[in-house]
Each structure stands twice: as C-alpha cells, then as structure tokens.
Structure 1
Amino acid sequence: MNRFAILAKKIVTPETIIPAGVVLVEDTRILQVGPRNQVRFEEREFAVLHAEQQTLVPGFIDVHIHGGGGRDVMEGTREAVEVISGILAKHGTTSYLATTMTASPIATIQAVERLGKLMVEGTGGARMVGLHLEGPFISEKKRGVHPPEHIRKPSTRIFDELLKMSNHRVKLITLAPEIEGSLEFIENARSKGVLVSMGHSNATFEEAMRAIDAGVSHATHTFNAMRDFNHREPGILGAVLADQSVWAEIIADGVHVDPVAVNILLKCKGVKKILLITDAISATEMPDGQYQLGSLTVLVSKGVCRVAEGQLAGSTLTQDRALQNMMRWTGLPLEEAVYMATQNPAQAVGIEKQKGSVQPGYDADLVLLEDDLRVHATLREGKVVYRSAKP
C-alpha cells in the first residue's frame, strides 16, 4: 500500500480554498483533504511530499488534443501515445480525449482500434480517458483544413463501426448539425452514450437550436470554423453564446481567438460552462518546422500552425499556458479560472465522480503550481508523472 501526504501552501479544490492544506493519498485515490491543523496522520505511515511553496489544484483535463512531441494520435502506436501523454503531464494535464482528424475510413478505423486497445492497456503520463472524433461528418464550407475528399454525410452505419472498433471508447464526436440526417444521427449517438459537439458548421441559429434540442451538448473550438455571427442571423455561434446548456470549447492561445472575444465568451457563458482546450498537434513542444496532423502537412512558424494555403491547423498550446492566458486576459483569479481546465471538462464528458476535483474518494490527479503558474509537479492517480527540474 502506497500512502503519502502532500503539504501545500494552498489547495484549490476548486469548490473551496484551503490555506496551508494537506492531501492524504492512498494508492491511486485521495483519502482526506483539509487544513494542516485538522488533518491528522502518522508520519511513520505516510511519506511526506513537501510543497509548502506551491498551490495544489486538480489535474487538468483536455477534451480536444491531436498530438505533441512530434507524434500524432492517428498513429495509434504505444510509442506515439507515450510521447504525447508525457508532454501533457509536463504541463499539468492528467486526462485527455485523444482527438482524431477527418481521414479515410480505413485510417480512422485503424486509429480508433489501436487507441481503444491502448486505453485498456494504459500508458504513462496523462491518461487517455476516451476518444473524440473530429469529423468526418462536418460541413465542407467550414471544414477548415479537414480533407474534403473524406468528409461524409452523417452515417449511423459508419459511426457504429467506429464505435465497435474502438471497443466503445468514443466519448465525443463533432459534427455539423445542418447536414441532412444529423438530427437522427445525434439521437443515435446519444442512445449509445456518446456525447455530440457541434462544430465545423455553417448552421443557422434555428438549425443549431434544433440540434441542441436533439441532444448536442458541446461546441467545438468556439468561434473557429463556425458561421459568423450576424445581428439578424446569429447562426451557430449565437446559439452557443445564448444557450446555457452548451459547453463551449475555447483555444486560448491568442491566435485562434482574440482576447476580446474570449471576454465576450466569458460574459455570455460564465466560468462554469467554458472548456479550456488546446487543439494541440504534433508540433507542440517542438521547434518550428514541418509536422503532421493526420494526413496533412503543417508548417509551424513562431509556434503558429498553418497549412501551405495559410489556414490555421491546430495549435502548439498547452493547458497550463491556456490557464495563464485566460487569467491574464479576463482578470479571473486562479480559483475561478481553474474550473475551465478541471471540473468543467470532467462534468462535460461524464467523469466528474472520479476526476476534476480534490476531494476524498477521487483519483489522485493533482498539479502543484508555482506562483507564476508554472507546473512544479504532476501526479496521476497517486504517481508522480512529472517533476520540474527548476528550483
């Protein structure tokens, strides 16, 4: 039995703030949380991790990520996933949805089958807790860089095959709700326990609202690859901003979305309906150069990812940096902004009873942050998976 105590300067659960707090961990779970003068333990029974200069928060959860460290999730190999998971842990992410790209049916089936097996076997670093299928049921007009030759109309047959080959590990799928057959598709996906996000879409406001009524619960990278807002036809973006049932992903890198738009999103949705995602690709934590996103070649300059035609193609963002940006742009304190990277995504993908919060019985997915919000250490299920070498 592995037992240890973490002594932190402050704990943000995030429901409460505990100055001079302690977290007791037994194996993979949190045993007890509270102020140091109230949580009693025998040091002969618990190893002590001293973090009196750091703030402890829940591990971050990224529901939209394609790769990192020169590797892409579509590779589906253990080597690729280990590299990606390790980089995520370095930046405080302890759980993620491996996100696929629109590709040929064969390539997508192979990827989800391999990823589904790796989920069962497990890897180091951050834990893959499910798959996010970004496409192929998206709008050609708002496809972004998704290959047009592989875009399909919503098909329950194709979806059911992907779900089966992934060993039912798909948690989320992005589709354009204006495409014929989408409402029936949404109802089918929800009946099988898969969440649906609307994105890469040219939907009108009415089309988006019908999709929400049918079961759509998320919006993929809000503002990006969406019909523009118009005061006479608010479109899909208007539906996302107006409907408080919808979780709104945001890429807070200052490239995909201007800080002013981020503040508008915050005012419309509030702290507890926004999801900080990265949409990171294989170029993350790598020097500028040429990288892959699925079958696409992406050119990276000054950390910005574009295809040869100039369109944005994912990001090199990490969740710790997304949190820092959100706080700087909006003035939110850590205890509010951290919801967007922890408890919100946990609730959004249905893992809120195990992850996203620091409380007894939950997985010991924990991050220790320096005062400047650099990651000091990351623990996944009670195991240190990253520790900074910097003093």
Structure 2
Amino acid sequence: MQRFFAKKLCDGNTIKHNQMMTVDDGKIHSIESAQFPGDAIQLSGLVAPGLIDVQVNGGGGVLFNNQPNLDTLITMSRAHQQYGSTAIMPTLITDDLVTMQLAADAVASAIAQNVKGIIGIHFEGPHLSQPKKGIHPTQHIRQISPEEMALFTRKDLGVVCVTLAPENVPVEIIQELVQANVKVCLGHSNASDTQTFAALQAGAQGFTHLFNAMSPLQSREAGMVGAALFDASSYCGLIVDHEHVDMTSCKLAIKCKTHSRIMLVTDAMSHVGSEQIELQFAGMQISRKDNKLTIEGGRLAGSALDMASAVRNCIVDLQCTIQEAIYMASSTPATFLGLQQQKGYLAPGCDADWVVFTDQYYVNATYIAGEQVSAQTIPNIQNN
C-alpha cells in the first residue's frame, strides 16, 4: 500500500486541502483528510485527475500515420505524459486500409502489453467530406466498406472512436457502429443541421474539434456548428490553442455546452514533446512557428498544443475556474469514453492516475497507476 499526501487536491469536482491518498495495485484505495505524517510521499502542487486526450496524432517527434507501430505509441504516450496526459487516444488521420490495419494492430499490441497511457484508438476518417477535408489526403477519402466496418468493430482495441461526415455515411451504418460500442463523432463535414440531428438521433455522441472543418452557424443555416451548440447531450472537442478557435467562440461553446460537455483536445502532431520544426505527411510539409502548424499557403495542420497548456489557457485567458478547466480535460473526456468509473476523478476505486500542477499550471509530475512517469519538464516550445 502506497501513501501520498497532497496539500491541495482537486478530486474532479471540488478542491480540498491536506488529503491523504492510499494506492493499492494501481487503484486509489482511500482519500481522507489528514496531517502530513512524514512517511508518505508528499506531492508538491495542485493534484488533479490525470488529463485525457481523445485526439492525438503524434508526439515526441513521431506521427502515428507515418509509423503505425508499437514503438510510435510508446513514444507518443511518453511525450504527452510530460504535459499531464495519463491517457490518450492515438489518432489516425485519413489513410489507406493497410495503414489503418497496421495502426489497429499496434494499438491492440499496446493494450495487450499494458503500455501506460494507451486506452484505445481514434480513426479520424476516412469517411469525410471533401469540401471540409482540411489536410486529410483527398485520395483516401472514401465511402465506408465492410473491411472498415470489421476494423472499427474489433474487440481488442480498447475504446474505439470514429470521426465521420454524416452526409456521406447512412444513419443505418451509424446505428450499427454505435451498437458495436464505437464512439461516433461528427466532423470534417459540410452537413446541414438536419443531417447532423439525424446522425445524433442515430446515436452519434460527439463532435470533432468544434468549429474547425465543419459547416458554420449562419443566419439562415444553422449548420453543424449550430446543431452542436444546440444539442444538450452531445460532447464537443475543443482546441484551445488560440490558433484554431477565437477566444469568444471558445467562451460561447463552454457557455452553451457547459464544462460537462466540452472536452479539451490537442489534435497534436509529432512536434509536441520534441524540438521538431518540419514534418512530412502525405506529400505535405507541415511547419511549426511558435505554437502554430501550417502547410504551404497557411492552412492549419493539426496543433502543437499539449493538454496542460489547454488547461492553462482556459484558466488564464477564458476565465474558467480551476475546477472547470480540469473537468474539461479529464472528467468530461472520461465520461464521453465511458470510463468515468475508472478515470477522470480521484476517488476510491478509480485508477491512481494524476497530474501535479505548479501554481502557474505547468506540470510538476505525472503519475499513472500510482507510479511517477514524468517529472517537471521544460515547457512545450509554444509556451516560450
């Protein structure tokens, strides 16, 4: 039995002081008020539930699409652990079927071997809208096939999330995916609000990077953005790097959806946790300048954001409370993924996954299953 003492702790809902956590076999056994006994491990800073990122394309200098193997997943997870992410959904950008199968096999291997931080896979495409494709390769955007359905419904991949454009996927297919416990997100789409509501009715649960690469809210057309903001039960990923979404739009989204339905995501490329500036992907060169990634012509190409920075941006720039920001980075994604009994909170029975923040909301240390996996690191380049 391990013992950890936190002078300040956010359990997912409230902030408490002078808390003793006991950990047994990677799970929290108890949390109770106490005075520091001297023989416990003292956690210096604000202790909060580990951050959960449902959209991670890469990290540590590697991109999942370019190297869809187990070593890449280990590198990605370790890179993001530096910034408080104790669980990530490795995300495959639109690609060919062979690459998709290799990515799935890598995730299955990571889960079978209990690789820390890997909890599933997010297929962002390939069943998207050409007009809203972003940097997704045109040649790989296609209709859904039986081979892809078989891939999405594998039972050895942990949590599976699929981003699709509802105007290009029949509602019957969305229903079939949902019945197979796939988390269906809507995005990279030019759908009308009617098409979007039909997909939600069929069981789609979320929206991928709200506002970005989707039909906008307009005076005579609500679009996918309008439907997402109006619908009370769905979840929305939000990239709070001040490059993808205007700050007022971020505040509007949180006001409409509340912190229990907005989940902070990074959409991180390989640059996070590395000194990388240039990245080759699908014949495109993605360049980093400060905290912005673009291809030739200035189009955004993923992000250089980390989850700790997303939390900090919400607190400092969006005037969210500490609890709200942490909730959107941990509890909300945990609930979206159906893991709220294990992750997203610090309570007896939950996984002993937590992050220790400094007073400025940088990361002092990250713990997974009660073991420290990362100590204080140099901030991501974007923060310099």
Task: Establish whether TM, by shorter chain, passes 0.5.
Answer: yes
Q: Deviations over 1:360-386 (max 9, x none)?
A: 011100111111111111110111101
8 Å contact from structure 1 (residues 113, 165) kept in 2: no
Q: Deviations over 1:8-45 (max 9, x none)?
A: 121111223211222111220101112115x9x8x7xx
Say yes or no: does 1:257 pair with 2:245.
Answer: yes
Letter in 2 for 1:64: Q
8 Å contact from structure 2 (residues 22, 29) kept in 1: yes
SS at match of 1:190: helix
Match of 1:141 in 2: 131
**Following TM superposition, by how much is the alpha carbon of 1:166 offset from its aligned partner in structure 2, in angstroms?**
7.4
SS at match of 1:305: strand
Stretch moving more, 292-301 or 70-79: 292-301
Distance (whole Å) between structure 2 residues aligned to residue 359 and residue 222 of structure 1? 31
**Following TM superposition, by how much is the alpha carbon of 1:304 offset from its aligned partner in structure 2, in angstroms?**
1.4
Match of 1:9 in 2: 7
**Following TM superposition, by how much is the alpha carbon of 1:165 offset from its aligned partner in structure 2, in angstroms?**
6.3
8 Å contact from structure 1 (residues 102, 136) kept in 2: yes
Match of 1:62 in 2: 53
8 Å contact from structure 2 (residues 119, 159) kept in 1: no
Stretch moving more, 78-87 or 333-342: 78-87
Stretch moving more, 193-202 or 19-28: 19-28
SS at match of 2:118: strand
Match of 1:81 in 2: 73
Letter in 1 for 2:80: L
Structure 2 residue aligned with 1:96, among 85, 88, 98? 88
8 Å contact from structure 2 (residues 61, 276) kept in 1: no
Q: TM-score, normalised by structure 2?
A: 0.93
Match of 1:176 in 2: 165
Q: How does 1:325-344 map to 2 (within 5 A)?
A: 325-344=313-332
8 Å contact from structure 1 (residues 72, 80) kept in 2: yes
8 Å contact from structure 2 (residues 9, 46) kept in 1: yes
Say yes or no: does 1:266 pair with 2:254.
Answer: yes
User: Cα gap change, 1:353/1:170 in structure 2, threshold over 3 Å: closer, same or farther?
Assistant: closer
Structure 2 residue aligned with 1:246, among 234, 239, 243? 234
**Following TM superposition, by how much is the alpha carbon of 1:342 offset from its aligned partner in structure 2, in angstroms?**
0.8
Stretch moving more, 114-123 or 89-98: 114-123
Structure 2 residue aligned with 1:354, among 342, 346, 353? 342
8 Å contact from structure 2 (residues 211, 245) kept in 1: yes
User: Cα gap change, 1:132/1:311 in structure 2, threshold over 3 Å: closer, same or farther?
Assistant: same
Match of 1:20 in 2: 18
Consecutive unaligned residues of structure 2, counting only runs of 5 or more, are 379-384
Say yes or no: does 1:187 pair with 2:178.
Answer: no
Q: Deviations over 1:181-219 (max 9, x none)?
A: 431110110111101000000011111011110111100
User: Cα gap change, 1:133/1:389 in structure 2, threshold over 3 Å: closer, same or farther?
Assistant: closer
8 Å contact from structure 2 (residues 121, 157) kept in 1: no
Match of 1:230 in 2: 218
Tell me how many residue pairs correspond in the alignment. 377
8 Å contact from structure 2 (residues 54, 90) kept in 1: yes
Match of 1:153 in 2: 143
8 Å contact from structure 2 (residues 8, 15) kept in 1: yes
The root-mean-square deviation of aligned C-alpha atoms, in Å, is: 1.9
Match of 2:110 in 1: 118
SS at match of 2:6: strand
Stretch moving more, 3-12 or 240-249: 3-12
Match of 1:202 in 2: 190
Say yes or no: does 1:130 pair with 2:120.
Answer: yes
Match of 2:381 in 1: none
Q: Deviations over 1:247-290 (max 9, x none)?
A: 01000000001111101111111111100000000111333521
Distance (whole Å) between structure 2 residues aligned to residue 289 and residue 194 of structure 1? 35
Letter in 2 for 1:83: T
8 Å contact from structure 1 (residues 60, 92) kept in 2: yes
8 Å contact from structure 1 (residues 18, 34) kept in 2: no
8 Å contact from structure 1 (residues 288, 301) kept in 2: no
Distance (whole Å) between structure 2 residues aligned to residue 292 and residue 112 of structure 1? 22
Distance (whole Å) between structure 2 residues aligned to residue 23 and residue 286 of structure 1? 33
Q: Deviations over 1:71-110 (max 9, x none)?
A: 1123232322222111111100000111001011112112
8 Å contact from structure 1 (residues 280, 318) kept in 2: yes
SS at match of 1:128: coil
User: Cα gap change, 1:294/1:168 in structure 2, threshold over 3 Å: closer, same or farther?
Assistant: farther
Structure 1 residue aligned with 2:312, among 324, 331, 350? 324
Match of 2:368 in 1: 380
User: Cα gap change, 1:122/1:193 in structure 2, threshold over 3 Å: closer, same or farther?
Assistant: same
Aligned-residue identity in percent:
31
8 Å contact from structure 1 (residues 307, 313) kept in 2: yes
SS at match of 1:178: helix
Say yes or no: does 1:71 pair with 2:62.
Answer: yes
**Following TM superposition, by how much is the alpha carbon of 1:168 offset from its aligned partner in structure 2, in angstroms?**
4.2
SS at match of 1:173: strand
Q: TM-score, normalised by structure 1?
A: 0.92
8 Å contact from structure 2 (residues 9, 17) kept in 1: yes
Distance (whole Å) between structure 1 residues aligned to residue 69 and residue 16 of structure 2? 41
User: Cα gap change, 1:110/1:165 in structure 2, threshold over 3 Å: closer, same or farther?
Assistant: farther
Match of 1:49 in 2: 41
